[in-house]
Amino acid sequence: MSWLKTLFKSRAKPKALASTISGFYGSWGEPKPLDQLKLLELAEGDADVRACLDAVVDSVISNGWQVAAGDPTIRDTVSEWLKAREDEFWLFLRNLTLTTLIFDEAYIECTSSFPRVIAPWTMRVKRNEYGEVTGYVQQTYKTVSFTSDEIVHIVLHPLADRAYGTPKIATLARLLMAKREAELFLFQVFMRKGVLSKAIIVKHGDDSTFARIRNQLENTRPGDNILLMGEVEIESLSQPIEDLHIIDLLKEFRQRILAIFRVPPIVYGVVEGVNLETSRNQMITFSQYIKSIQRIISAGATQAIRRILRLEGFHIKLHEWMNPEQETRIHVLRVGSGIETVNEARAFLGLPPIEEKRGGAGNQGELLRESVKEFPV
């Protein structure tokens, strides 16, 4: 029996300490290593990042959800609760997904009748010396404390015993700042109507002639013709857009952003240099990434609703995202197997109903194959 006591004793309390001095910060919580508001500014100010975030969020939540439970009573209870708050739950899922993608973490408050997403830059985690969460604290114009059961903390990329996530925006920070400067430079060139800077060399002349030419240049707008009298040589300086390869540089920045967010160029809207086989491979990889995000968001939403309803034994599952070609093939198989009708499949694909032909399941599948030609894949 002594070995049982030893085993129980060893499992009752962890031994390894946290890599940070967690207990030192006490009721203030651990400080965050990154300026999250700065990251938010970078994310909101870049068109490519916004497009990637929208593509991922739409793919995660666009197909809806279902409640899975072993007990039909529990399933019906949760389903009715969500149905009565369907619009609010849609907004909650979108907010939760977008917040998680930007900050690599999200905080869901479970103290009221419906889950709420709290601004991550206001939240800190309280932990003991072993790294175990003991509570959360929000610091705004005043301090609000939460118990560990009142907050569901989602961390998208947990690393060892770190309390906070590692945002993709932080990985892209220097690239985004460089991209912003390149776009600003391009903007300034266009504001000057693309006119190159010129070096005007006055070969002969006195101070008054030099001052007159300078004043004339200062009063000239970009694109205006300049007429100078005397022995003057005008030399065009280099072409900054071509010499610095600004356009190619911006394309390279965009490719890196797409790679970090794992968004295929065809989803973003870039089709140049993409063939059918490459597109399918990219879609498969993107689908796997979306599925992993959906599991995390589903787990966080499920925990929050369990605590609010004080129910166990159910799980909220987001429907898997598929591209139109995959969806069409699956519905053809379902119709051919008699699982659903042609009009049910057409309704799911956004097509109007048609008069179904009588016949076997095989004929129904053939009918759907013909009808989905109206749907772009």
- Do residue 266 and residue 298 come from a single domain? yes
Sign of CA dihedral 18, 21, 25, 26: positive
- Do residue 67 and residue 173 come from a single domain? yes
Per-chain mean pLDDT for the chain: 79
61 touches 318 (CB < 8 A): yes
Last residue in a domain, options 236, 265, 293: 236
**pLDDT higher for 277 or 105?**
105
- Which residue range forms the structural domain that includes residue 184? 16-195+244-321
Q: Are strands 198-202 and 232-236 parallel, antiparallel or unpaired?
A: antiparallel
Q: Is residue 8 domain-resident?
A: no
Sign of CA dihedral 281, 284, 288, 290: positive
User: What percent of the chain has pLDDT above 90?
Assistant: 34
Q: How far apart are CA 61 and CA 75, in angstroms?
A: 20
Q: Is residue 6 domain-resident?
A: no
- Do residue 206 and residue 307 come from a single domain? no
Mean pLDDT of 145-150: 94
pLDDT of residue 376: 43
pLDDT digits (tens, 9 = 90+) for 217-250: 777 665 566 666 666 666 554 555 555 567 777 8
- Do residue 223 and residue 93 come from a single domain? no
- Do residue 248 and residue 181 come from a single domain? yes
- Do residue 83 and residue 209 come from a single domain? no
- Decide: helix, strand or coil at residue 107: strand
Q: Is residue 39 domain-resident?
A: yes
- Do residue 138 and residue 115 come from a single domain? yes
Query: Token pair for residue 89?
Result: 């739950």
Q: Is residue 9 domain-resident?
A: no
Q: Is residue 4 domain-resident?
A: no
User: What total of structural domains would you count in the chain?
Assistant: 3
Largest CA distance in the chain: 109
Task: Tokens 């006490």: give the residue.
Answer: 26
Q: Is residue 179 domain-resident?
A: yes
- Do residue 287 and residue 147 come from a single domain? yes
- Do residue 144 and residue 257 come from a single domain? yes
Confidence of residue 180 (pLDDT cuts 50, 70, 90): confident
Q: Is residue 10 domain-resident?
A: no
Q: Is residue 343 domain-resident?
A: yes
pLDDT of residue 19: 79
Q: What is the DSSP track for 35-94?
A: -HHHHHHHHHT-HHHHHHHHHHHHHHHTT-EEEEESSHHHHHHHHHHHHTTHHHHHHHHH
With a cut of 60, say whether residue 181 has pLDDT above it. Answer: yes
pLDDT digits (tens, 9 = 90+) for 188-225: 766 665 555 566 676 666 777 778 777 777 776 655 66
CA dist 175 to 37, 246, 248, 253, 260, Å? 17, 14, 14, 7, 11
Mean pLDDT of 81-91: 94
- Do residue 189 and residue 224 come from a single domain? no
- Do residue 190 and residue 130 come from a single domain? yes
- Do residue 130 and residue 279 come from a single domain? yes
Query: For helices 173-191 and 36-44, what crossing angle results, to 10°?
Result: 40
pLDDT digits (tens, 9 = 90+) for 276-297: 556 667 777 888 899 999 999 9
pTM of the model: 0.72
